[in-house]
Amino acid sequence: MPLVGIDIIEIERIEKALDRHPRFLHRVFTSREQAYCGGRRRPGASLAARWAAKEAVFKVLGLGWGQLRWKDVEIIVDERGRPQVVLHGRVAEVAREKGIAGIDVSLSHHGSMAVAVAIADRR
């Protein structure tokens, strides 16, 4: 049975965090995420979609605040532009312990909102 997580966020919330807290970008997003989103027309929207994806992945794995590192979930794109989830550190360990074979993610943003859905398959 697949596990599903979803999250939605106002893009402006991420954009304000980027403006107010210079370390926010480096604390939450990997260098690959930063490079990809920095090249987009509206970097804040792409970063917000990745924030939502990370939250959706945490929900799928049953992880809450204090149990995670934001960079342990990385959202990259393949050669066709399809988002891919790469797990690192403790988050990868939790996925293995829970028998998660893989996590697929879908991202979208429009206007003022960004949304992501994560679906995990158990072995």
CATH of the domain at 112: 3.90.470.20
pLDDT, position 15 = 97
Q: Is 111 helix (H, G, I), strand (E, B) or coil?
A: coil
Q: CA angle, corner 68, sides to 25 and 6, nearest 5? A: 80
Domain count within the chain: 1
pLDDT tens digits along 82-116: 999 999 999 999 999 999 989 999 999 999 999 99
pLDDT tens digits along 23-56: 999 999 999 999 999 999 999 999 999 999 999 9
Spatial separation of the C-alpha atoms in residues 69 and 54, rounded to whole Å: 10
